[in-house]
Amino acid sequence: MPSKLEQLREMSVVVADTGDLTAIERYRPQDCTTNPSLILKAAQQPESADLVRDTITQAAGAGEDVERILDRLAVRFGVELTRLVPGVVSTEVPARLSFDTTAMVDKARTLISLYEAYGVARERVLIKLATTWEGVRAAEILEREGVRCNLTLVFSLEQAVAAAQAGAFLISPFVGRITDWYKQHEGRDAYAVEEDPGVRSVREIYAHFKGQGYATVVMGASFRSAAQVAALAGCDRLTVSPALLGELAGDEGVLERQLTPGEPVGEPEGRLSEGAFRWALIENRMAGEKLNEGIRSFHQDDLKLRRMVEAQLA
């Protein structure tokens, strides 16, 4: 019998959640996603040392500042990943820009121009933006320019709906981080998979999107276990860490489809207002806290990467 990973490929597009070039070669995903934390981890690996050193040396020699070097570093990892996967690679806009629509759009344009300078067409790239109200508006602008967006740090249905109504290509609901929050606040060590709050959240978003006929891709992310991945088999896309890809590759049990698109039903819902979006993040304590925590965490890793680059320049 084929492994669960091979069975999963028949139901969902499998995406690697990593910047580890070796892991990409091993598990042959369709797409690849990165974020500041993953870029930082990849940049510290011995096999990436030459790429990091060459990027910094060439950029510094051209008189570029640290900000430009960080952009180049993110794109260089992305370029290498496009050589290993047949699909798209996601590259994230710095977290500190998450509440500034204009700055996010400008940074996205910069990243796309760097990709194109390296010979990678914009069709191979997704720009990742935090799903703040400002991030949603940035995605709306970029999508009109032919720059496809991955709205990340999605913890609520309202965030997902706002992204879809803005025409975002893809959203990334964070399964594991939702579950982590509920474990902490409910004093639970674990959940049966059918009760798992993170799994249930993505299932709700998926069903809502298909019922409303939204074209936006739903990509479950931030998994804590192979069981969570299996519970979302059939979701449009699933981005999975190398460790869990390895676990699925080594399991030859039966994997059953859990999500099926179905046909759109009912009348289209009204457009979500800014006030309703912001209030939803106040009322949904988990979503509001995890969104802010995720932005803060990615920013901290951005700063660590910046310090690493500054140390090499010195």
**Residue 201 structure tokens:** 């959240």
Helices 157-165, 274-283: crossing angle, 10 deg rounding: 160
String of DSSP letters for 239-283: EE-HHHHHHHHT--S------------SPPPPPPPHHHHHHHHHH
Cα–Cα dist 129/309, whole Å: 23
128 is catalytic: yes
**Residues 194, 179: Cα–Cα separation, whole Å:** 12
3-class SS of residue 119: coil
- 16 φ/ψ angles, rounded to the nearest 5 degrees: -90, 130
Query: What are the residues facing 16 on neighbouring strands?
Result: 32, 240
- For residue 265, give both structure tokens: 């039903």
Tally Cβ neighbours within 10 Å of residue 131.
33
CA 161 vs CA 143, 271, 280: distances in Å: 16, 9, 12
Catalytic residue among 4, 107, 128, 290: 128
d(CA 2, CA 14): 15
Q: What is the DSSP letter of 34?
A: -
Active site residues: 128
